[in-house]
Structure 1
Amino acid sequence: MTNRQRRFRPTQTRQVRIAMAAVVLAATGALTVTFVSGGGNGTADAATNLAQFVAIEDVRPNVSNPKPTVGAATGRFTVDCGTNENGKFSPDNPVAQPGVKNGAEHVHDFVGNLAITADSSNADLAASGTTCKNGDRSSYFWPVVRIDRTVRSGDRVAQALARTQPMIVCPSVRDRLPAVPLRVRDTVDRRLAELDRLNAQAGRRMTASRGRVDAALNRQVLDALRTRRAIVIKNISNALRSAGTARPAGLVSLVDCDVSYDGMHASMHGPSHAASATADRVANPRLRCPTVRGRLPGVPAPAVAEVNRNLDELDRQISEATERIATSRGQGGPNFVDNAIVGPLTAKRIAVLDRIGIAIGRHTARPQGLEALAACTVDQAAGDPGPTTPGSAPSPTASALPEPQGPDFELPGNTGGIVRPAQVLIEYRGNPVSKVVPMPRFLRALTGDAKPTSRGPANARPSWTCSGFADRLADKYPICPVGSQVQRVHDFPGCWDGRNIDSDNHRSHVAFTDPATGACPQGFRAIPQLRITISYDIPRDVQEKGQYALDSFPEENHNPFSDHDDFINVNSTRTMKHIVTCINKGRDCS
């Protein structure tokens, strides 16, 4: 670690930090890498160091809860979903980056839904098993915390960034579409090509910030791209509807893109534990299957419904296999997953792909080569480091984001053993001024921001504290008194627009309550407000030496202010009604 001799400084309030960020933005027009919002030491090198840590006693109380008024909903409903004992870790982010493999570039803990991947449909989520004791199939996930006792090079991030060209990474619309009727295939293809052109144009604009982080430029490029992609994606949806098919669900989730500094990984190979043959495996292998939706030709109208049923069946097969990998942990020896799960899955896919070919072939030329899309594999990250060596560089392309390696799912810059939570408390809470209404099923929500450096700090939230200090939250890593646990407290938005389960930026369909009154913004309704508290038993010497850190995007380099959490509501209608009734009646339920 760097700068180990620095003195601890009391954490400033979030309002002061955001005000400082605003001054920098106003003065420079850009948030460059020389400023790390919130956490970190305010320099280009936000590598884990003592300036990112604070004794919790030095943090001023800053948490206030509005007093309930007449008509308030004061109850609480808790859910026990465990602490990821199944080893479901993934660098996917199904909420913020749907369809993008390894899109997070860091690893998440997942509890709840067992089948979820970056590609899961709502139907697959609803059919999944769960780790939650009450049957809640929702997915809750957050970045892992690691302990790494090795010394990190303080200038490694700046050096890697200096050689990096930022890229635009967007979810693939092509690979998420249903069967495209033959008569609108050309129209849809033109729109898809238009998306490709927009993405390429945005990527060329990013050359202006080569070797540095420019948050103002990033926001400008992404906002403009989002607006134009939304129009094109809506046109694709309208074209499909004009051909008599149902409007595809979930396309709004594919509008938003991101700026990727993935190229930094090639220059950030450092101490890694991935090659340890004797290390215990904490992570299960992940399933990889070729996409089929994006490879189909135009489908004759009489075959569309049948082809769509088979495409959905392919999705279900992957979800079932993913869930089985999670629930069969430790069974059957080293070849169990290949022999008992992947092999049978490939055979099932061959049969379904054959049915798709037959359905299309009844009305036009049968597509050739579909059988080549049948074979699935599992990655090597669950214990076998595979062919990747410290000298090999991951390809800096959007289609080849780096794969995690070894028993702890390590990535360059995100190394060390994963700390398993001692406890995860999931609570649905009320509202101090009104009753709550049910969350819609499949609502997506997130809290915090994984990229306060490269996108600006507006959505970042302090989340760090210690058990026994519920009156304060820090945007630095806490050093806790003896006997106190390190904690992360993630409060989700408690208001909903009453219509949408997602939005083109994954945020505007939900909102936080007024911090002073607890009221929702005009046009929004109070919903059960989700809070997730994650507790860790981290040795005191590790805290004092600054040796634990959050997994993060490479440009954030463990910035504690980049903490975040994601959620998809898959509670049944009946369970959500029970949650709402409990909260509105002021009860404490589970």
Structure 2
Amino acid sequence: MNRRPDGTPLVHTRPARIALAALVLAATGALTVTFVSGGGRGTADAAASLDQFVPIEKVPPNVRDPQPAAGGSPGRFTVDCGTNGNGKFSPDNPVAQPGIRNGAEHVHDFVGNLAITANSSDADLDASGTTCRNGDKSSYFWPVVRIDKSVRNDEQVRQALAQTQPTVVCPSVGKRLRAVPTGARGTIDRLLADLDRQQAAANQRMTASRGRIDAAFNREVVDALRARRAATIRQISSTVTASGGNQPGLVSLVECDVSYDDMHARMPAGAHRASVTAAQAANPRIQCPSVRDKLPGVPAGALAEVNRNLDELDRQLSEANERLVTSRGQGGPAFVDNAILGPLRAKRIAVLDRIAIAIGRQAARPQGLDAFATCTLDQAPGTPGSAPTTAAPATATALPDPQGPDLELPGNTGGIVRPAQVLIEYRGNPVSRVVPMPKFLRALTGDAKPTSRGPANARATWTCSGFADRLADKYPICPAGSQVQRVHDFPGCWDGRNVDSDNHRNHVAFADRATGACPQGFRAIPQLRITVGYDIPRDVQLKGQYALDSFPEENHNPFSDHNDFVNVNSAQTMQRIATCINKGKSCS
């Protein structure tokens, strides 16, 4: 059986593929358009093509666990965080696209941490509430699954891609900086401008791939940009530190990505609407103006106080976003304005005033900071308290906000299927003891973009209950009475130093599939596995009418399944997890 570089099996019912089709469009020469199909192909029946679906019985057994050794850690610790009954949905990805609003370009289910958004700091996460019964404040999130009984029109995808100029998207460093000392402000501004120029140069290179997807070219552009950004961001951090400031954690902002989100704007918003009515799914978010990038250089004597107040602004926003989740359905149309946005504005005015006073004691007091006090609510139209919005124009490059009660996006439509079961478990290593994960460790598994980035990190995740010995990279068709399942295994090895890395992957690694041993220089940690199960009607499965939310260029590719995680367990809880696993017990 063919395997990927990480040892996971490639499962196919016909020859290997990344995308399900590669077409050549004749127009001023041959324009290569790579795309993946979802459901039907624009014909009269959505069941006309089932290329992405496979009866699970036809998938050969391919899951083989290494034999445990005497020095292994055979225990298991489970956490009950629910099934997203609170309805915390978001198109943010705080791990892979930190600081980028709607960065996922599709909607995620979130369980665990209630406050997390793309902009959450570690302190915000630590102060949050949680859906987990044991107090675990970690965040676990994955793309939603939808049922859409209308026809999926691949021609619209081809046409949208043919008109799309891919762009390079990078997190903003300026908006995440702590207070910059006065003496470093000029240098930092120059380095931030360098980052902008680097991104602009990468975007200029991307014009060579207009209307097509070239994974090798994309990797070349992003890898070169990452190297330049990493050097510049290290210089920003060292400059702030050398001037008496404190600037940790910028490594998470190094990685950029190639985006085809303009495809969303070029596909009709009503391309195919849901015929399935789901429970109210829309989850609003509060957006506040950034303050960190608006401040002047801060005198040395005011740095600590300004940083405390900047952190307080972040905490206030996270608290407000958490309250949106926990107070859902309370009050009338004005509840959010009166109970959340109004008090938030008052608290922000007080904090912004303290920042101005702290700077003003030793330098010119900054004026007009109160202009950044008012926050707004992002909410899909048609829900209580929402403001009307308009669809993104055809020339827009930004992803429109999710629309309506099902948080629909162009290309990602239909009723969201709520998980029937979510099993979160931390498992041991077959050949060694595990050490506790560090707090705030970020990790991801799978790859949301195997078409535009290549398949090296993608993983087969799909199966049915009762078929734990096999995983498919296609949507499974399950026997009657069996659940559709997604099994997400995270890396179980850690480099012993870092909680993140410049590509969000290099600080962790998968154990050897055959032996279970970690790579040299890595230590075994509790290995996270998340199993999500769905009760999807069998006729929907047979007709190919359920699909994963995805980036536009993936068009619901089942091989783009992925899952993300931020560890916010306390040190004591994580030690308890490791001890349980090392003793071979089953705990919760």
Q: Could you state the TM-score of these two structures normalised by the residue count of structure 2?
A: 0.92
Q: Which moved more, 1:517-526 or 1:148-157?
A: 148-157
Q: Who is 1:286 aligned against? A: 285
CA shift digits 1:125-165 (9 cap, x unpaired): 11111000000000000000011111121211111000000
CA shift digits 1:160-207 (9 cap, x unpaired): 000000001000000000011111100000000000000000000000
2:13 equivalent to 1:14: no
Q: Who is 1:434 aligned against? A: 432
CA contact (8 A) 1:161 1:264 kept: yes
CA contact (8 A) 1:281 1:407 kept: yes
In 1, the alpha carbon distance for the partners of 2:497 and 2:164 equals: 41
In 2, the alpha carbon distance for the partners of 1:274 and 1:377 equals: 28
Q: Secondary structure at the match of 1:355?
A: helix
The code of the aligned residue for 2:116 comes to I
In structure 1, runs of 5+ residues without a counterpart are 1-11, 25-30
2:217 equivalent to 1:221: no
Q: Who is 2:524 aligned against? A: 526
In 1, the alpha carbon distance for the partners of 2:123 and 2:301 equals: 24
Q: Secondary structure at the match of 1:83?
A: coil
CA contact (8 A) 2:38 2:547 kept: no
The code of the aligned residue for 1:299 comes to V
CA shift digits 1:337-366 (9 cap, x unpaired): 221011100111011111111111222222
Q: Who is 2:512 aligned against? A: 514
The code of the aligned residue for 2:63 comes to V
Q: Which moved more, 1:490-499 or 1:369-378?
A: 369-378
In 1, the alpha carbon distance for the partners of 2:467 and 2:581 equals: 25
CA contact (8 A) 1:18 1:458 kept: no
Superposed, which structure 2 residues align to 1:17-56 within 5 Å? 20=16, 33-34=33-34, 49-56=49-56
Report the Cα offset of residue 262 of structure 1. 1.0
Question: CA 1:568–1:395 in 2, change beyond 3 Å: closer, same or farther?
Answer: farther
2:529 equivalent to 1:535: no
In 1, the alpha carbon distance for the partners of 2:179 and 2:19 equals: 50
Report the Cα offset of residue 35 of structure 1. 6.5
The code of the aligned residue for 1:200 comes to A
CA contact (8 A) 1:112 1:136 kept: yes
CA contact (8 A) 1:32 1:214 kept: no
CA shift digits 1:264-315 (9 cap, x unpaired): 1122124378899x97422321111111111111112221111111101100
CA contact (8 A) 2:265 2:399 kept: no
In 1, the alpha carbon distance for the partners of 2:413 and 2:302 equals: 49
In 1, the alpha carbon distance for the partners of 2:480 and 2:406 equals: 27
Q: Who is 2:59 aligned against? A: 59
The code of the aligned residue for 1:461 comes to R
In 2, the alpha carbon distance for the partners of 1:280 and 1:421 equals: 13
Q: Could you state the TM-score of these two structures normalised by the residue count of structure 1?
A: 0.91
In 1, the alpha carbon distance for the partners of 2:14 and 2:226 equals: 25
Q: Who is 1:115 aligned against? A: 115
Question: CA 1:126–1:282 in 2, change beyond 3 Å: closer, same or farther?
Answer: same
The code of the aligned residue for 2:117 comes to T
In 1, the alpha carbon distance for the partners of 2:151 and 2:280 equals: 24
CA contact (8 A) 1:283 1:382 kept: no
Q: Who is 2:101 aligned against? A: 101
Report the Cα offset of residue 20 of structure 1. 4.7
Superposed, which structure 2 residues align to 1:551-570 within 5 Å? 551-570=549-568
Q: Who is 1:28 aligned against? A: none
CA contact (8 A) 1:262 1:396 kept: no
* Seq. identity, %: 74
2:377 equivalent to 1:378: yes
Q: Who is 1:549 aligned against? A: 547
Q: Secondary structure at the match of 1:431?
A: coil
Report the Cα offset of residue 335 of structure 1. 2.1
The code of the aligned residue for 2:54 comes to V
CA contact (8 A) 1:394 1:401 kept: no
In 2, the alpha carbon distance for the partners of 1:537 and 1:16 equals: 24
The code of the aligned residue for 2:365 comes to R
Q: Who is 2:191 aligned against? A: 191
CA contact (8 A) 2:463 2:487 kept: yes
Q: Secondary structure at the match of 1:360?
A: helix
Q: Who is 1:447 aligned against? A: 445
In structure 2, runs of 5+ residues without a counterpart are 1-7, 21-30
Report the Cα offset of residue 18 of structure 1. 13
Q: Who is 1:140 aligned against? A: 140
Report the Cα offset of residue 377 of structure 1. 1.1
Superposed, which structure 2 residues align to 1:380-399 within 5 Å? 380-381=379-380, 383-384=382-383, 386-389=387-390, 392-393=392-393, 396-397=396-397
In 2, the alpha carbon distance for the partners of 1:480 and 1:380 equals: 36
Question: CA 1:117–1:200 in 2, change beyond 3 Å: closer, same or farther?
Answer: same
Q: Secondary structure at the match of 1:445?
A: strand
Q: Who is 1:260 aligned against? A: 259
Question: CA 1:83–1:16 in 2, change beyond 3 Å: closer, same or farther?
Answer: closer
Question: CA 1:386–1:395 in 2, change beyond 3 Å: closer, same or farther?
Answer: farther
The code of the aligned residue for 1:14 comes to L
CA contact (8 A) 2:149 2:274 kept: no
In 2, the alpha carbon distance for the partners of 1:330 and 1:68 equals: 50
- Number of matched pairs: 566
CA shift digits 1:199-250 (9 cap, x unpaired): 000000000000000101100000000000000000000100111112x222
Report the Cα offset of residue 386 of structure 1. 5.0
In 1, the alpha carbon distance for the partners of 2:13 and 2:499 equals: 32
In 1, the alpha carbon distance for the partners of 2:376 and 2:12 equals: 49
In 1, the alpha carbon distance for the partners of 2:446 and 2:122 equals: 24
In 2, the alpha carbon distance for the partners of 1:567 and 1:23 equals: 27
The code of the aligned residue for 1:324 comes to R
Q: Secondary structure at the match of 2:428?
A: strand
Superposed, which structure 2 residues align to 1:237-252 within 5 Å? 237-246=237-246, 248-252=247-251
CA contact (8 A) 2:109 2:144 kept: yes
In 2, the alpha carbon distance for the partners of 1:473 and 1:480 equals: 12
The code of the aligned residue for 1:192 comes to L
Q: Who is 2:76 aligned against? A: 76
| Aligned-residue RMSD, C-alpha | 2.6
Report the Cα offset of residue 34 of structure 1. 3.2
2:362 equivalent to 1:342: no
Q: Who is 1:127 aligned against? A: 127
Q: Who is 1:573 aligned against? A: 571
In 2, the alpha carbon distance for the partners of 1:241 and 1:199 equals: 25
CA contact (8 A) 1:443 1:568 kept: yes
Question: CA 1:275–1:67 in 2, change beyond 3 Å: closer, same or farther?
Answer: closer
Report the Cα offset of residue 383 of structure 1. 4.3
Question: CA 1:61–1:78 in 2, change beyond 3 Å: closer, same or farther?
Answer: same
CA contact (8 A) 2:215 2:451 kept: yes
In 2, the alpha carbon distance for the partners of 1:224 and 1:113 equals: 35
Q: Secondary structure at the match of 1:155?
A: helix
CA contact (8 A) 2:42 2:154 kept: no
CA contact (8 A) 1:274 1:405 kept: no
Question: CA 1:571–1:383 in 2, change beyond 3 Å: closer, same or farther?
Answer: farther
In 1, the alpha carbon distance for the partners of 2:360 and 2:500 equals: 37
The code of the aligned residue for 1:265 comes to H
CA contact (8 A) 1:274 1:406 kept: no
In 2, the alpha carbon distance for the partners of 1:174 and 1:380 equals: 27
Report the Cα offset of residue 393 of structure 1. 2.2
